[in-house]
Structure 1
Amino acid sequence: MSITAAMVKELRETTGAGMMDCKKALGETNGDMEAAVDWLRAKGIAKADKKSGRTAAEGLIGIASAGTKAVVVEINSETDFVARNDAFQDIVRGVSKVALDTDGSVDAIGAATYPATGKAVSETITDAIATIGENMSLRRAVQLSVTDGVVSTYVHNAVADGLGKLGVLVALQSTGDKDALNAIGRQIAMHIAATNPLAIRSEDVDAAVAERERNVFIEQSRASGKPDAIIEKMVDGRMRKFFEEVALLSQAFVINPDLTVAAAIKEAEKTVGAPIEVTGIARLLLGEGIEKEESDFAAEVAAVAKG
């Protein structure tokens, strides 16, 4: 398979690895992007996560809550200048409130009526594009609810009430005191903003993600030259550590690192006066997964082509 400059660029932006390393990885894996990422990680050249500085979309994350329900939405704009525009902020705030009365899906929110205009949310956004003069889109949304308890919220670096660049929801099921419950919920939401867990519990981590990690650990461990039986134990140990690091309840609580999140919740139950169960989490980072154009890429492509 021919390895194109565009493929090299994509792998480089995904992993942060050097151009020549990316070209070699794609060559070794016959152009398979996912396998190339794992190849680079196994060689110690790339990290598991995409570089955080490589997102391009601007806009705002909006959060709205009412009773036992809350929603977080992402509405993108082309520039941060527009994101600071009062009219744009009003739209994000309004759409967030409308989303509370839907099932939380982008399609349902887009079809819902926007009270201020009497039109569908999607149509209202289209009209705003013409008025503000910049492309905008409702990209993502997540809604969480509980039958008894709270859905705590947190907006990091808020630019206005309920609006910012990073929004988190935490659903806590409990019959206990709601104010005390919301206090621990907000702390957990702040923790999630900082650590970005993959799941609530280790058994909830996507099986495909866990399998990829295990395969990478196996390749890394084989480089030690140790017997297969020893390698298996090494990999099992690294997988236990992996689950501790990516599952919310087993993570060290950022508010008090001497406790895991699960232990902190158990402590909070004394104040809340009832058991607490985390039933859902959501974390939306503005522009996550949208790549930024690299203005200096031409020279790097030329260097790869010569190589």
Structure 2
Amino acid sequence: MIRSLGFALKNCNKNILINSNKTINNGLLKNNFCTKSSEVKVPTELVVQLRKKTQSPVQECKKALQASNNDMEGAIKWLLEKGKATAEKLKTRVSAEGIVSVLVDSNNGKAVILEMNSETDFVSRGDIFRNLAREISGATLVNPVSGGKVADNGILEFEPSDIENIYTIKVKTTNEDGVSEEMPIKDAIVRIVSKLRENIVIRRASFIQPLNNNNSKSYISSYAHDSTSEKKDVGRLGSIVQLEYQGNCTNMDSLKQFANQLAIHIVSNSPSVVSTNDIPSSVLEECKNNNKKPESLYDDMVLYEQSYMYSPEHTVKQYLEILSEKIGTENLSVKTFRRYAIGETAERV
């Protein structure tokens, strides 16, 4: 009997404890619900405005506005910091896809070719990614870029170690709703990384500079190979080329046509130097060590020695001479060029 009474009392106490816990838990749940319902209410119109400004997902915009008590500037800063955290997490991912962007500023005798990489080809083919590359190219031509190294051919080069100088330039970005905003290139990339959830980097960039010789004139052209774009300013392959000449050109249309076709020729035939005099001594030495004649390098490496694809019976150098006589210029020559192909400098895993 005593044992039975003890067992009953034990079960009774246990039930009391369980019910008490339920009461406490229900109270906590109720309090939590009240706390959640008392969070900052975000007007829909503010979410729409923030989304237009930042292109961020709707839920992220709502969180940002709640965290900033519906202050628009505070929400933008919140999204930027969150985007930086996302970019930091993604920066170790291999980005070997992407596009080459080319742009010419004819009025100032300048041009840029840059490679911007993403993780997947799917992202690199999207308008968001490509428009950002176009905007960055434009910003680098309008604003002076410090640093970089001048190559032997006169091209100003920005390798991966120099890219930080480009990231600080301000770019005016425009989202799909037509809203424009100016910010450093690095922040513009962070915003797109946060939206697309892929690591995005500018791999390298090269610039053609105005001629220093007052007696000479130049014409610059560019080409990017992309079957889906009529503008031919972005693609997986690209080139920029600068012609130099003296005298008065009597047929600018013919000169421009040649420059445009030469840019396509460079993309298609992938030369690395203009003339035989530009072949690096290290390459010639290696050729000698392998018992090869320097002439064996010409077709692959030397632009002047290649068969011109728009007039195969002539080399590029021969066609230049014919054209120069035809349009009345003197000493028409290729001053410099640069060709990029996606992924040729990227590390893959």
Other-structure match for 2:112: 71
Report the alpha carbon displacement of residue 158 of structure 1 after superposing the two structures with TM.
4.6
Specify which of 236, 245, 264 is matched with residue 165 of structure 1: 236
> Whole-Å Cα distance in 1 between the matches of residues 134 and 280 of structure 2?
33
Paired residues, what number?
Answer: 220
Q: Which runs of no fewer than 5 residues in structure 1 stay unpaired?
A: 1-54, 218-234, 294-307
Distance in 1, matches of 2:253 and 2:190, equals 40
Letter in 1 for 2:99: L
Alignment of 1:255-274 (within 5 A): 255-274=310-329
Aligned residue runs from structure 1 range 33-72, under 5 A: 57-67=96-106, 68-72=109-113
Residue in 2 that maps onto 1:120: 184
**Which residue is 2:202 aligned to?**
138
> Any idea what SS the aligned residue of 1:256 has?
coil
TM-score by length of 1: 0.66
For residue 125 of structure 2, what is the amino acid of its counterpart?
A: R
| Structure with bigger gyration radius | 2
Structure 1 vs Structure 2: percent identity of aligned residues?
26
In structure 2, how many angstroms separate the alpha carbons of the residues matched to 1:140 and 1:271?
38
Q: 1:178 aligns with which of 252, 256, 266?
A: 252
Give the partner amino acid of 1:92. A
3-state SS of 1:73 partner: strand
Specify the SS of the correspondent of 2:320.
helix
Alpha-carbon separation, structure 2, partners of 1:78 and 1:272:
47
Is it true that 1:212 corresponds to 2:286 in the alignment?
yes
Q: Deviations over 1:73-126 (max 9, x none)?
A: 110000111112221111011011112133464343222111234221122112
| Corresponding letter in the other structure for 1:124 | A
Mapped to 2, the partners of 1:158 and 1:207 lie a distance apart of: 38
Q: Provide the residue aligned with 1:284 in structure 2.
A: 340
Match of 1:242 in 2: 297
Please report how far the alpha carbon of residue 244 of structure 1 lies from its aligned counterpart in structure 2 after TM superposition: 5.0
Provide runs of 4+ in structure 1 moved above 4 Å: none
The alignment status of 1:95 with 2:136, answered yes or no, reads yes
Query: Are residues 66 and 179 of structure 1, via their aligned partners in 2, closer, same or farther at CA, if it must alter by over 3 Å?
Result: farther
**Aligned-pair RMSD on alpha carbons?**
2.1
Q: Does 2:218 correspond to 1:149? A: yes
- Mapped to 1, the partners of 2:170 and 2:227 lie a distance apart of 27
| Distance in 2 of aligned mates of 1:214 and 1:109 | 40
CA contact (8 A) 1:145 1:171 kept: no
Q: Judging changes above 3 Å, is the alpha-carbon distance between structure 1 residues 190 and 91 closer, same or farther for their aligned structure 2 residues? A: same
5+ residue gaps, structure 2, are 1-93, 146-155, 174-180, 212-216
Q: Deviations over 1:150-193 (max 9, x none)?
A: 11111112543211111111100135243322211112112111
Q: Deviations over 1:252-285 (max 9, x none)?
A: 2122221111001111113432031211110011
